[in-house]
Structure 1
């Protein structure tokens, strides 16, 4: 971990105001499913998948908890790519509607990346974004700018590759190297 990553980790994990950021657990699965469903922007996975995600990928995911009750109000699900273990693939980012517009998605992404970089030596992230999802495009472009990284884009999956009906293409955003 670089000094900048250590500073970033301390800055975002110990911020006194706003929701507390930590690892999800199985008990959070239903809330993450609800937040994803209510986002109206994400592809909604089965409720079962959110439970599994909170069990099997908690170490590479993050949840924002409201104070004082600790209920989830935002999350980032991610995993380390098996063939590129220094790359964090960000699967979904969502914030409850009552907590949007306060920079929580950026805080979640920065805190998660700092933690996973410290634990696993991550040097880059990847995510897919459908064309027209300007909120996600801005989130990841600003993430890249904060971390002195470049963004490369290419279509990962064409819409016609999805077997369940019309789907927009998924554009891969490759961000790195991360410098702080």
Structure 2
């Protein structure tokens, strides 16, 4: 049976989250082939809204499916390198900083959710083969250590403090080999 799911032309962020949840639900029940998964997610990550919605839906999902991504997920992400690189790098920074934020507020449950997102993001970064990804990871690292570089404005815009920048740096260090 062919999947009835498809990605609308001008998908909104909210629609992309909902579609990602539906894709994951069908993946879990074995209703989608690897080729269908790759095509659907590839279509999703072609646009900024689609990619942002995919990462929110995929990385924060409560089910363990995203803990062991299939090769079709990697191939789909590799099909949209410019958008995917930026979002993976920024997601790594944001979820790492949010762990610190939630721990400060004594919210261990939400801190653990952010740790799960960080772990899943790290796994994707290690697993995809996208030219330029490791350079961008290094640029983020440099921005956290020197306050210079392409990701400096991003870090400043979110107002990350010294402890949060240290958490981001620590999340990056295992990726710098």
Give the alignment's TM-score, normalised by structure 2. Answer: 0.35
Higher strand share: 1
Which structure: greater helix fraction? 2
In the superposition, the TM-score normalised over structure 1's length comes to 0.35
